Structure 1
Amino acid sequence: MTIEEINKLCQNTLIGHLDIEFLSYGEDFVEARMLVDQKKWQPAGLLHGGASLALAETVASGGSMLLVDPTHFNVLGLQVSGNHISTISEGFVLARAEIVHRGNKTHVWDVKITSSEGKLISVARVTNMIIEKKQKRD
């Protein structure tokens, strides 16, 4: 699976509605960005923590999808936890997920979310389940 395929797969989903775009990946990381605008604010005009956690789970799940054969396996978020360090109200945030554990049934990712200027906004840990797809019967 490629970055282009993942971005296309995400269209017309929550990921697309949150304006999350995958940018790059390597053997042990994946990066995505999200536009920070009024759609993602909490009432005080700052990025909503839930939007940050959705970004973290999205980038980590995309990373797991790049590590498995998507024709044979599904990737499902099992656990997400985060700490919000700072605030932002406009521009883009960049999420970089780095794999901590690559097992046969689980992947664990550490995610750092920063502003375009490099200011740390949030940190998260995401655990994904890797589930074999069941064969369809004729």
Structure 2
Amino acid sequence: MEESKRKEILDRLNNWSQDNLGKTLNIKFTDVDDESLTAEMPVEPRVHQPYGILHGGASVALAETLGSCLSVLHVDMEKVAPVGTNINSNHLRAIRTGTVTGKATFIRKGNTVHVSQIEIRDAKGHLINHTTMTNNIIPHSKLS
């Protein structure tokens, strides 16, 4: 992927909307290529659960944001929309501070179904969370 296209995609994703969960969690898209999408999220008290570690729901929100946006990049949004229908998330390691990085890649990229896996890692590369996500690719005419 050309650097100019990569930068354009990252700018579009990072500025898509100013009022959404991704912005609330400070998710920032950092890399994209033809088959993957990467984003970072800071781990700080506002995304902790009561024990002072990263809330599993915040990990799932990062994973779903990545999986959904990966699908968005690979469909004609004028005709269809990816709609999440299943998410399975395994929380594997706790983290209290720092930044986590999630990377989404396709397991299957079909015409009507996308299945992706998202690995969320800490700065040392430890696997914090592994998620699989299914998006159905729905024509706009069937969304109502």
**TM-score normalised by the chain length of structure 1:** 0.92
Deviation at 1:32, TM superposition (A): 0.7
The aligned counterpart of 1:16 is: 23
Counterpart of 1:104 (choices 83, 86, 111) is 111
**Distance of 1:18 and 1:10 partners within structure 2:** 13
Deviation at 1:14, TM superposition (A): 0.9
Deviation at 1:57, TM superposition (A): 0.7
1:54 aligns with 2:61: yes
**SS of residue in 2 equivalent to 1:67:** coil
**Where does the alignment leave 5 or more consecutive residues of structure 2 unmatched?**
1-7
* Aligned sequence identity (%): 35
**TM-score normalised by the chain length of structure 2:** 0.88
1:71-109 superposed Cα distances (whole Å, 9 cap, x missing partner) = 222121111111111011111100011101011111000
**Where does the alignment leave 5 or more consecutive residues of structure 1 unmatched?**
none
Deviation at 1:39, TM superposition (A): 1.0
Deviation at 1:129, TM superposition (A): 1.4
**Distance of 1:3 and 1:130 partners within structure 2:** 22
Shift of the 134–67 alpha-carbon distance from structure 1 to 2, 3 Å rule, reads same
Q: What RMSD over aligned residues (CA atoms) do the two structures have, in Å?
A: 1.5
Deviation at 1:134, TM superposition (A): 2.9
